[in-house]
Amino acid sequence: MVRTPCRDKSGLKKGLSRCGKSCSLRWMNYLRPNIKRGNYSKEEEDITIRLHQQLGNRWSTIAAELPGRTDNEIKNHWHTNLKKRLLLQNSVTDDQKSDQNSQSETSSQEEVSKSPQEFDINPMNTPQILESSTSTSSSTDHDQVSSITIDTTPVEFNRSLETTIQEDSVANFFEPYAGNNFWTEPFLADSSYNFNISNDFLAPLIDPGYISLHSLLLDGELLRPYGLY
DNA sequence: AACGAGTGCAACCGCTATGGA
DNA sequence: GTCCATAGCGGTTGCACTCGT
């Protein structure tokens, strides 16, 4: 069943008019209280890269592993930052390989036996970018080239993805919230939003303690879109 | 100051899945 | 079983903003 688009007959948007779907999307992607905003941590980027390697463009699944991040945000971040970095990484890796090829014929024969995916895209094999995740960086690609630091320490590849995420990022990320099963109840955070932004805003009620642990502490920038600092 | 290019991200679009009548 | 509304997903677009010239 094809959804009726939020357009008038001329095909133009109806100004500021919003259909239910538009409102829903805006809530889910932008207004939802437990959305984490601001720069991505290295852990979040690592998770994104690994999951994308495993799952492809299943952004909602990836988003489920990154609490506070929406699929849309992750998708945007991937297209605007991570994809470029991986491409850059690959180009650096290719350069290194070409250098190595010119120096060692033996090593080149080993490389040939690999499929491209084994050493190009796979973030588990490629060097880890240590650059801080400043998504607002206005530097040019050329500047990024000069600013990126490559860590050639190999990542243990045999660990399962789930174990890797749990050990490397998620457990550490939510350790301060231990005792609240945020991880298995991701949408409870929505319900935790029981303080009034305005008199017009009605939200479900829940234990106020939940707010401090999940909503308020998730990110310092959480309330800034509402003018609450 | 003005302009153009590049960038980031919210919003939109088309589609499928699902559930209720 | 059919129809319809809605939720959710991934791809794409449009525009505000920043930066360099």
pLDDT tens, residue by residue, A65-78 = 888 888 888 888 88
Residues lying close to strand C (Cβ under 7 A), chosen from 27-46 of chain A, are 28
Domain assignment present for residue A185? The answer is no
Backbone angles phi, psi at A7, to 5 degrees: -135, 160
Nearest in space to A66 (alpha carbons), one of A183, A209, A176, A188: A183
Residue A47 lies in a domain: yes
Looking at the 3D structure of chain A, how many domains does it have? 1
pLDDT in tens, A89-107: 666 666 666 666 555 433 3
Residue nearest to nucleotide C9 (CA to C1'): A60
Residue A102 carries which side chain, given as an amino acid letter? S
Residue A72 lies in a domain: yes
Comparing every residue's Cα with the C1' atom of nucleotide C3, the nearest one is: A1
Please report, for the domain that includes residue A72, its CATH number.
1.10.10.60
Identify the sign of the CA torsion A56, A58, A31, A4: positive
- CB proximity A84–strand C (7 Å threshold): no
Establish if A71 belongs to a structural domain.
yes
- Angstrom CA distances, A161 to A94, A173, A203, A229, stand at 26, 17, 36, 37
Query: Does the pLDDT at position A146 exceed 70?
Result: no
A58 contact to strand C (CB, 7 A limit): yes
Number of C-beta neighbours around residue A137 at 10 A = 14
Q: Of the candidates A200, A178, A180, A176, which has an alpha carbon nearest to the alpha carbon of residue A192?
A: A180
Please indicate, yes or no, if residue A106 is contained in any of the structural domains.
no
pLDDT exceeds 50 at position A84: yes
The number of beta carbons lying within 10 Å of the beta carbon of residue A144 is 15
Covered bases, chain B (protein CB within 7 Å): 6-18
| A83: in domain | yes
Number of other CB atoms surrounding residue A205 within 10 Å: 11
With a cut of 80, say whether residue A132 has pLDDT above it. no
Specify if A50 maps to a domain.
yes
Tell me the mean pLDDT in the region A171-190: 39
Is nucleic acid strand C under 7 Å from A107's C-beta? Answer: no
Cα dist from A84 to A45, A61, A78, A149, A166, whole Å:
13, 22, 8, 15, 26
Q: C-alpha distances in angstroms, A119 versus A86, A114, A127?
A: 12, 7, 10
Residue A195 has pLDDT above 70, yes or no: no
The whole domain housing A59 covers 40-89
Whether the CB-CB separation of A93 and A81 falls below 8 Å is answered with no
Distance A82 CA to B13 C1' (A): 25
Tell me whether residue A59 is in a domain: yes
